[in-house]
């Protein structure tokens, strides 16, 4: 019997998907196989299927590729200070009000950006 893992990463799970795919397992069987180890936080059935398809097409890397667009994290010391100044000036300020004052933080209203302020 296997014991569930308490810590793991998405990259690790992709590695397991690649390993089981290399052993000629199908996506639905790989998804079932990961349940005892990763529990309900395993990759979704669709994600497993997508990765199996990518590996079948010749992909070897399990890491995300570079994507164009906005950066994921914008928490610079300058931006943090600006947000903190706004909050200290008015303790009941809303996220929308901060986003209006500092437009670049709006897409990140639920990210680690806000957790760094507490």
Cα–Cα nearest to 94, from 109, 79, 108: 109
- pLDDT tens digits for 19-73? 999 999 999 999 999 999 998 889 999 999 999 999 999 999 999 887 776 655 5
Q: Is the pTM of this model over 0.75?
A: no
Tokens, residue 39 = 């529990």
| pLDDT confidence band for 4 (50 / 70 / 90) | confident
| pLDDT confidence band for 13 (50 / 70 / 90) | very high
Residue 40, burial from CB neighbour count under 10 angstroms (0-12, 13-18, 19+):
exposed
Describe the crossing of helices 10-22 and 45-56 by its angle, rounded to 10 degrees.
60
Q: Which residue has the higher pLDDT, 14 or 72?
A: 14
């Amino acid at each position: 019997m296997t014991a569930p893992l308490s810590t793991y990463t998405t990259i690790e799970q992709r590695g397991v998907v690649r390993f089981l795919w290399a052993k000629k397992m199908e996506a639905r069987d790989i998804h079932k196989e990961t349940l005892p180890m990763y529990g309900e936080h395993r990759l979704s059935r669709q994600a497993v299927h997508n990765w199996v398809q990518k590996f079948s097409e010749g992909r070897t890397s399990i890491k995300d590729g570079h994507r164009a667009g906005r950066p994921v994290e914008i928490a610079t010391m300058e931006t943090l200070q600006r947000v903190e100044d706004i909050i200290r000036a008015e303790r009941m300020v809303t996220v929308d009000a901060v986003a209006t004052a500092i437009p670049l933080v709006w897409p990140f209203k639920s990210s680690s950006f806000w957790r760094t302020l507490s």
